[in-house]
Amino acid sequence: MTDPDAAGPAARPRLINIANVLTMVRLALVPVFVVFLMTGGTGWRIAAFVVFGAASFTDLLDGELARRGGLITDFGKIADPIADKALTGSALISLTVLGEVAGWVTALILAREVGVTLLRFWVIRRGVIPASRGGKVKTLLQIVAIGLYVLPIGLNVLKLVIMGAALVVTMLTGADYVVRAVRLRRAVPGSQGGAVSGESMAGGHAGSGQ
C-alpha cells in the first residue's frame, strides 16, 4: 500500500502555477484599467474596455484551470477574491467619480461584497457554502453592466436596466449568503471544518459565484 502521508506533499500544487499567475495578472491590470478609464476620450475608453474584458476573462479562466488541473492553493484562495473585488470595485468607484454611476449604487454593491468577504472568515472554520446560480448571475450582470458603462456608447436605458438588475441580484444573493452562513454556524458548533464544495469560504479558485 502507498503511504498517503508520503504522497501528500508531492501532490500539493505549486504556488507558482498558471491559475495563480492569471490571478496576479488580473490584479496588475486593475491600475492600468483605472488610468485608461480616468484619462478620458473615446480611444482611452475603448482601451479601458479591452483591459476590463481581458481581466474579467482571466477570472473565468483561472478558476477553470485551477479546478481541472488540481491547482487550487491557499494563496489562490486569498488572492483570487481580492483581485475580483479590486477589479469591480475600482471600476464602480471610477465610474462614480466620473459621474456616470450613482454613488449609492456603488456603495450598496461594495458594502455587499465586503460583507460577504467578512462572512467567509466568520464561518471559515465551520465549513463551506456552495456557489449558487444567483451568485454566478450576479457576477455576470456586474461585468456586463460595468462594460456597457465603460464603452463610449449611448444605450443609457439599457445601461440603467442591466445595472439595476445587477444591483437587485447582488443584494438578494447577499441576503441569501447571510442566511446560509448563519445556518452553517448554528449547524456546525465545532471548528473541524466542512466538506469541500464548489465555493470555498476562504474564497479563491474553488468557485467564483457568491
Q: Can you give the CATH number for the domain in which 130 is found?
A: 1.20.120.1760
How far is Cα 104 from Cα 127, in angstroms, rounded to an integer?
33
pLDDT above 90 for 17: no
172: helix, strand or coil = helix
Torsion (CA) 177, 182, 187, 191 in degrees, nearest 10: 90
Q: State how far the alpha carbon of 13 is from the alpha carbons of 10, 66, 162, 191, 202, in Å.
A: 8, 9, 39, 25, 17
Give the residue from 120, 143, 137 showing the smallest Cα distance to 172: 137
Residue 62 in any domain: the answer is yes
Mean pLDDT, all residues of the chain: 78
Residue 200 in any domain: the answer is no
What pLDDT does residue 141 have?
94
Residue 30 in any domain: the answer is yes
Highest mean pLDDT among 23-32, 54-63, 115-124, 188-197: 23-32
Residue 202 in any domain: the answer is no
Residue 194 in any domain: the answer is no
What pLDDT does residue 40 have?
83
Residue 203 in any domain: the answer is no
Range of the domain at 154: 4-187
Full-model pTM: 0.77
Residue 181 in any domain: the answer is yes
What pLDDT does residue 193 have?
42
DSSP state, residue 153: -
Residue 131 in any domain: the answer is yes
For residues 201 and 151, the model is more confident at 151
Q: Quick one: how far is CA 89 from the chain centroid?
A: 10
pLDDT above 60 for 166: yes
Q: Looking at the 3D structure of the chain, how many domains does it have? A: 1
> What count of Cα atoms within 13 Å lies in the side-chain half-sphere of residue 170?
24
